[in-house]
Amino acid sequence: MNIQNFKRKECIASQKRELEEENISNKKKKKDQSFLSKINAVTHQEEFHSESSTMDVYPFQQLKQEKLQSMDKLESLNESGTSSPCLSNKKIDQSPQQCENDTQNTQSKNNNQNKDQNIEEEDLDYQRINKPQEIFDCKYKPSLINFRDKEKNEIKNFLQRCIDNKQKTKCLLITGMPGCGKTLTTTSLLEELSVKQKKFEYIKFNAMSYNNQESFLRDLHFKIFKSRMQSSCQDLLTQIKQSKRSSHLTIFIDEFDNLFHGSSQDIFILFNIASLEKANISIIGVSNSMEMVFDLSKKYKIILPDIKNLVFEPYSQKEIYQIIQSRLKEMSEKLNVPQDIIDDKALRLCSGKMYNLKGGDIRCLFDVCKKALEESKKGRQQEDNKDTDEQNNDNLNELQKITIPQLNQIIDKLYKVSYKFIAKMPIEQILTILSIYSIIKQKEGIVEISVIQVKNQLNNICNSMGIQVSEISKLKEILENLQSYQILQIRNKENSAQNANKRGQNNKNIENMTIFLKITTEDVEDALSEESKFSDFFEQYIK
C-alpha cells in the first residue's frame, strides 16, 4: 500500500513538472515573439531615418547588428534545447525578476564585449591599406597625427571638464580653413576616449547630409532615445532633461554651420542642451567658420551662451612636407614600398606649389600624391596615358620613382593655373621675376632670398640688357605689386610682417626683407621662355 501511494505521488509530481516546463516554454515563446516584434519595429524606424540622411554612429551598437545577434542567440537556444537563458544553471525556485536581471546583466556584458570588438575592427579598417595610393585616402587614419598635439590636448581638457561637470556651457566650436586636420584630430580623440573610458560615448553626424534642421533633430532624438520625436524639438529637450545618463555622451557634428541654413531657429536648441547642468551631454561642432551661426542668432535676436571656440591654424609648407613624408614612411612599413617612391626634390617642389595654390589645405596635396601613385607604373610617364584596367591588380614591383614632371602634370590636371599673364606685365616686373628665378636656379634648395640679393641680380641683368637699374624704393613698389598677383611673398627677417607693411619705412627696413617665390621656376619658364627677347636669358638655365 505504501509503495502504491509512493508511485501515485511520483506520477503526480512528474505531471506537475511537465506542466510547469510547458508553461515556461509557452511564456518564453511569447516573450521571444514580443521581443522580435519590437526589434522589427525599431529596424523599420531605422530604415525610415536612413532614407533621409546618412550618418556615421560610433560607438553605439547598430540596430541591425543587434537584431542579427538576437536572432543568432535564439537559434542557438532552439538548437541546444534550452528553453530560456535564465533557467540554465539556476535553481528552480528562482524568481522571474531575478532571471530577467541575470539575463540583462549577461546581455550587457556581451554588448560591452561586442563594442570593444567593433572598435578594434573599425580601427583596423581605418588603418588597413592594400594599395600604396590608399595611404592618402581622406578616410585613412594614420598611426600618428602630426602637429596637432596642442589642439588635441585642448579638446581633451574640454571633454574632461564636461565629464567632471565643471564646464558651464558644454559646447565647443572648432574652426579653421579646410584641410587643416580638424575632423581627423577630433574623431581620433573621441575614439580614443571611448575605448579608454567606460562611461564615455559619442555619436557622429555630418550636417551636409541634412536638407533642414527638423530632419537632423529627429535623427538626433532617434539616436539618443531609439524612438521617434513625438511633436516638436521641445520634446527632445524635455526628454533630455528628464533622462538620467550614467555615461557621458558627446554629440559630434561635422560641417556644423550647414545646420544654420534657412529661416528656422529650432537648431539653437543644441545650445540649450549644452547648457543643461545635469544632462551629461556635450556638443562639439566642426566647421570652416561660424559666421552663419552668429548671423542667424542676430537675425532672431538670440543670445548665445558662452561658447568655447578652438581655432586650428593652417599647416605651414614645412609641416605639409613632413606630413607627406610621414604617410610615405607608414606606406613603406605596411606594403614594403620604397619610402622615396616620390623623389624628395619633387615632393618639396610639389609641397611649395600646392601650398601657394591651396594654402594649408593638405587634402589637395593628398589628391596629387594619390594620383601620382596610381600612375607610377612603368610606361605611364606621358600625360594622356589611361589608367590601368580595374581588373588588373597593382603590382608593387612595377612602381617607378615619381619625378618633378609627373607631379607637375598631375597638378596641371587637377588644379591647372596659368601664369601666361606674366609676359604682359611691365618690363621692370618681369626683370624682377627673372632676377629671383636666376638666383633660385643658381642655388638649388634656396627658399627665401634677401632683397639685397634681388637688387644685385637685377643690376646684373639690367646691365646685360642695357636697362637702367631701379632704385631700392622703386624695387619695393615692384615687389609689392608682384605680391598682389600672388607671385611672391614679402617677409621680414624679424618676423614683424605688420611693421614691414607700414608706410614711411626707411631703406634699412626694406633691405631686411626677404622674398619667397610662390610660383615654381617651371611656371616662369612656361610664361616667358617662348618670348624672343628672353630666349638668350633662358638658354643658360634650361637644358
**pLDDT tens-digit profile of 405-443?**
899 889 888 887 778 888 888 888 899 999 999 898 888
What's the CA gap between 376 and 60, in Å, rounded? 41
Look at the block and give the residue holding cell 615632393: 347
What is the Cα–Cα distance from 482 to 430, expressed in whole angstroms? 9
Write out the H or E segment, with its range, that includes residue 66. helix 63-80
Grid coordinates 596610381 are at which residue?
A: 374
The CA distances from residue 108 to 112, 113, 114, in Å, are 6, 9, 10
Residue stretches of the chain with pLDDT short of 70: 1-19, 21, 23-127, 231, 377-398, 444-447, 468-473, 493-511, 542-543
- Break the chain into its structural domains and give their ranges: 2-84+97-127, 149-312, 317-387+395-414, 420-539
- 157-196 burial, b at 16+ Cβ within 10 Å, e below that, comes to ebbeebbeeebebbbbbbbbbebbbbbbbbbbbbbebbee
Query: Within a 10 A sphere around the Cβ of 265, how many other Cβ atoms?
Result: 16
Whether the CB-CB separation of 163 and 211 falls below 8 Å is answered with no
Q: How far apart are CA 440 and CA 282, in angstroms?
A: 52
Is the CB of residue 510 less than 8 Å from the CB of residue 537? no
> What per-residue confidence (pLDDT) applies to 505?
44
Q: Which residues contact 14 (CB under 8 A, 6 or more apart)?
A: none
- Asked if 149-312 and 420-539 have one fold, the answer is no
Q: Round to whole Å and give the CA distance between 136 and 132.
A: 8
280: which residues sit within 8 A by CB, 6+ positions away? Answer: 165, 245, 247, 248, 249
Q: What is the pLDDT of residue 180?
A: 94
Q: Tell me the three cell numbers of residue 73.
A: 542567440
- Beta bridge pairs of residue 251: 203, 283
| CATH, domain 149-312, list 3.40.50.880, 3.40.1410.10, 3.40.50.300, 3.40.449.10 | 3.40.50.300
The pLDDT value given to residue 465: 77
CA R_g for the chain:
33
pLDDT at site 302 = 92
The CATH number that domain 420-539 falls under is 1.10.10.10
The per-residue pLDDT for 277 is 87
Q: Which residues of 338-357 are buried (b: 16+ CB within 10 A; e: fewer)?
A: eeebbbeebbbbbbbbbbbb
Spatial distance between the Cα atoms of 127 and 137, rounded to a whole number of angstroms: 11
Number of H helices, E strands in the chain: 20, 8
Amino acid occupying residue 238: T
Q: Tell whether omega for the bond before 59 is within 30 degrees of 0, i.e. cis.
A: yes
pLDDT score at 31: 57
Count CB-CB contacts under 10 A for residue 5: 9
Residue 403 identity: T
Phi then psi dihedrals of residue 489, to 5 deg? -135, 135
pLDDT tens figures, 8-64: 666 666 666 666 767 666 666 665 555 555 455 444 444 444 444 433 433 334 444
Whole-number Å distance between alpha carbons of 323 and 181: 11
Task: State whether residue 319 is helix, strand or coil.
Answer: helix
Please give the Cα distance from 227 to 65 (Å, whole number): 17
In angstroms, the first-to-last Cα distance of the chain is 122
For residue 291, what pLDDT is reported? 84
How many Å apart are CA 368 and CA 411, to the nearest integer?
6
